[in-house]
Structure 1
Amino acid sequence: MFDFITDKKYFFRVKMVSAELLYSCIRNNHKYTHKQRNVKLRFSSDPNNVVGIDNFKYNGLVNRKTVGMMPKKDGKGLTLMLKSTKKDRLNKPAQMYNKFEIKNGAAGLRKVMNIVAVSGYRKDLEKPALIRASKIMKSYKPIKVNKRHAAKKE
């Protein structure tokens, strides 16, 4: 017999569970799922879920390749996160994601498109990623207040 923990030769041969099986186990209850009454859709607040809908295609917990975006705290752009496909990084949560800093503007949207679709990472998430990036960038713009309407309200 051999011990999986001490024998490195056999330790790395242990197979992971398939993504479909893992999703079927966690789909009803996990940290990021949000259910609402009278709504059949389940929503997700997972940072690696670009769409916000909890289903297998967009789930960031189980898929091998995921795309995630988070706004920067300083309000000048966003952070694009891609799950690494290298096998040696999969068991290291701190190194599991490749992060790209993206600035505001059209050049930032072009960079998102190039990273997600043109490089062949996940072409099916190109449009949702662009929509999410543009919404994040649009949220940084200050709201213009029309002086006439503000004066009438007072």
Structure 2
Amino acid sequence: MSNDVAWQVIRNNSAFIRRQRGIQKAFSREPLNLKGINSPNYNGLTNAKAIGVTLAEDNKSVVVTVKKSGKKNLPAKSLIKTTIKRGGARGIIKSVQGLVKGRNARFAKLAARRASQLLRSVQRSAKIAKKSSA
């Protein structure tokens, strides 16, 4: 099935779609959607070159998931996961941008921005936990 046909099937009905009252645009919680917008450009289910950035379990490193374009019919083998633990947040962001640039240059800045957001959210929660314990 082509990407366009798959998008026509899932654009209005998907388990990942999130709608909010008063907002026309629908959001998406797909693991391979960098922006979180329900659109064919950022959809991780239909695009052949989808990229996802998530936090690792230790909350200090980032996992970059890249979809292989040739393994469309084998979903379990179509994803490559790479954990980046390079020193500090800036090193991780730089590594994410370099890794993604080699695969899909269009999403390099988006992936770096997503990694930055995730790392910042962990730092904020750590600060809040320190304040509440003191």
Q: TM-score scaled by structure 2?
A: 0.86
Larger radius of gyration: 1
Cα displacement (A) at 1:145 = 8.6
Q: Which has the higher contact order (CA 8 A, sep 6+)?
A: 2
> Is residue 50 of structure 2 the alignment partner of residue 66 of structure 1?
yes
Larger helix proportion of the pair: 2
RMSD (CA atoms): 2.0
Q: 1:110 to 1:146 in 2, by over 3 A?
A: closer
Q: TM-score scaled by structure 1?
A: 0.75
Equivalenced residue count is 128
1:31-110 map, 5 Å? 31-86=15-70, 89-103=71-85, 104-110=88-94
Percent identical pairs in the alignment equals 30
> Is residue 106 of structure 2 the alignment partner of residue 124 of structure 1?
yes
Cα displacement (A) at 1:112 = 0.8
User: What SS class does the counterpart of residue 23 from structure 2 fall into?
Assistant: coil
* Rounded Cα–Cα distance in structure 1 between residues aligned with 2:107 and 2:22: 28
